[in-house]
Amino acid sequence: MEGVMMRNKDVYAVAVRRPDHEIVVEKREFRGILPHFAARDLIFVRGVISLVESLMLGMSALTFSASFFEEEGEEEKRQDERSEKAEMGLILCLSVVLALAVFVALPFFASQLFRKVLASETAVILLEGLIRIGIFIGYILLISRMEDIKRVFMYHGAEHKCINCVEHGLDLTVENVKKSSREHKRCGTSFLFFVILVTIVATMFIRVDSGLLKLTLRIAIVPVVAGVSFELIRLAGRTDNALVGLLGKPGLWLQRLTTKEPDEEMIAVGIASVEAVFDWKEFVAKVREKEKDDI
């Protein structure tokens, strides 16, 4: 809410524009879940761990930003801080259950209604995928009509534009950020679209007769889908391969819905969050040096 979160390795920062227009920056260390787990950096495993960590950080950032807009006394705030972890755990669990219900179970049962009129199992699975895409896009369009979400999407745009500004070797100023793109290959929106594509492919291999078993297996492969999708989004962010770029195009198009052009105050918040965790001047110098070498 009215803020931007940036993470760099084991440190993350949340910059929030308070109601009095002051920018407050909270910087914290986050070593992640299972920091000593030997397999946490293995391909596919790291994707599942990264997804869980992103959800945890997102909830923490949301709770922090919301605290500036709640009319509470000091005692109430202290009580909220003590119960924050328990509430975050409960909300995360409910979010996962609702996501599975809306984006896994609902498309599955809806596609089964057309089983008698479709010629093959493959056609039913493709229809299930199209329904899932339709629900996803419809959900984004629906929430984007809410005023608070519109502002969230504007801050989302500020986040992307700040990152693109630095990655293209430009000084991190309001004017340079304004000129930068609000689309980014490593965005969570693109990740979710990869999840949908990978899910369609993965469900092609689920060929059992029991409807209950089909649904159970769809839920069971979610970690696998998340792991594969994470590797695809990493690849898309690091390569200019034409095929990977083509697969990533729909995600970039969807970002036009989940990001909006920010105003200068929002851009300033994005810059504050970047500067709290990242030495952009050193990075920009390296980018410019590399460009000179390439010439």
Q: Write the pLDDT tens digit of every residue in 194-245.
A: 999 999 999 999 989 899 999 999 999 999 999 999 999 988 888 877 888 8
Per DSSP, the chain holds a count of helices (H) and strands (E) of 12, 3
pLDDT in tens, 26-71: 999 988 888 878 788 888 899 889 888 888 888 888 888 888 876 5
Give the whole-number percent of the chain exceeding pLDDT 70: 94
Quote the CA–CA distance of 160 and 115 in Å, as a whole number: 42
pLDDT in tens, 98-115: 999 999 999 999 999 998
Lookup result for tokens 């390795």? 9
Query: Is-contact 140 258, C-beta < 8 A?
Result: yes
Lookup result for tokens 């923490």? 60
Two tokens, residue 243: 């095929």
